[in-house]
A = this chain, B = another copy of it.
Amino acid sequence: MTPALARALERNTALVDGTLDRLLAPTSDFPETVRKAMRYSLFAGGKRLRPTLVLAAAECCGLSPRRALKTAAALEMIHTYSLIHDDLPAMDDDDLRRGKPTNHKVFGEALAILAGDGLLTKAFEAAAENAADLRLEGRRAAELVRVVALGAGVEGMVGGQVADLAAEGQARRLGKTAAARALEAVHRRKTGALIAASLDAGAILAGASAPRRAALRAYGESVGLAFQIADDVLDVVGDKAKLGKRGSDRDNGKLTYVALYGVDGARAKARALAEMAHAQLKSFGRRAAVLHELADYVIEREK
């Protein structure tokens, strides 16, 4: 990571964390038990990739990142809810996440489900507030909410998780080409859709044109897939302590990019996707500096 990116990430993380802290402040209407459960996973050391992408996309299109903070927080809340629900016993049944006990291990399953539901719902509240604060015109305010919902929902992230569950066990019976296609389809939705929505949301807040929105979405789709491939590589070659995981996907018999292409092949694929991401940023000039650096960072990170 370059010093410039490190500074940008540090600044954005502080801003986003402050916004999340305010959005989840104690009020008389907010039951303390679920508030604690929501905050536990929100402040469990996430990389803040999605909010950083919201802020960087907004900046890229001429809006001060500070004016996009509630939407950035919304995308992080959606990401966090998806982790809480994915970790549940009925889903991936994970005990650890980022080296800490998962939400349901600490708060019980019922509260973990409700904390996830609460985060997803509050995300839309926060995005709507951002639209109101910026006095977005009606069509654009509606488009912001719609883009976030499509990225998060059955056409996006939820659909990806459904496809992932369905693919379990099927992968072994597929040939390599079919397996590769199935794997990419899962990850384009499970990770890629919300990342693309993060960039689009930032662009919408900034009043960006349709071609600029499309370029940022395409950047996000490439970066999202590259991020997932890097995850698969890290799962094999990474430092378990840094990753905070107990088992690996390989141990669980999951289909991965490394299983399909080997470590070197997977790394080459991630690198090619990062190049595609860079290419989408041409028209933005120097304003896209953070996004350029992020495209390299997602494939070079160590956790």
A contact set with B: CB distance below 8 Å: 27, 29-31, 33-35, 38, 81, 85, 88, 90-91, 108-111, 113-114, 116-118, 120-122, 124-125, 127-129, 131-132, 135-146, 148-150, 152-155, 158-159, 161-163, 165-166
A132 to chain B: closest residue by CB: B142
- Structural contact, B85 and A33, CB atoms closer than 8 A: no
Please indicate the chain B residues that have their CB under 8 angstroms from the CB of A108 in the complex: 90
- Structural contact, B146 and A132, CB atoms closer than 8 A: yes
Sample (8) of A-B pairs whose CB atoms are under 8 Å apart: A31-B159, A34-B158, A34-B159, A90-B113, A122-B149, A124-B148, A136-B142, A137-B137
- Please measure, in the bound complex, the distance between the C-alpha atom of A29 and the C-alpha atom of B156, giving whole angstroms: 8
- Structural contact, A88 and B111, CB atoms closer than 8 A: no
Please indicate the chain B residues that have their CB under 8 angstroms from the CB of A155 in the complex: 27, 29-30
Please indicate the chain B residues that have their CB under 8 angstroms from the CB of A27 in the complex: 155
A140 to chain B, nearest CB (A): 7
- A-B residue pairs, 3 tightest by C-beta: A90-B109, A121-B153, A125-B149
Q: Say whether, besides A128-B146, A138-B132, A153 and B114 are in contact (CB < 8 Å).
A: no
- Structural contact, A31 and B149, CB atoms closer than 8 A: no
- Please measure, in the bound complex, the distance between the C-alpha atom of A131 and the C-alpha atom of B143, giving whole angstroms: 10
Q: Say whether, besides A91-B113, A113-B113, A145 and B125 are in contact (CB < 8 Å).
A: yes
A141 to chain B, nearest CB (A): 4
Choose among B91, B116, B128 the residue that contacts A145 (Cβ–Cβ < 8 A): B128
- Structural contact, B161 and A114, CB atoms closer than 8 A: yes
- Please measure, in the bound complex, the distance between the C-alpha atom of A143 and the C-alpha atom of B140, giving whole angstroms: 14
Choose among B132, B161, B163 the residue that contacts A143 (Cβ–Cβ < 8 A): B132
- Structural contact, B122 and A124, CB atoms closer than 8 A: no
Choose among B141, B149, B162 the residue that contacts A33 (Cβ–Cβ < 8 A): B162
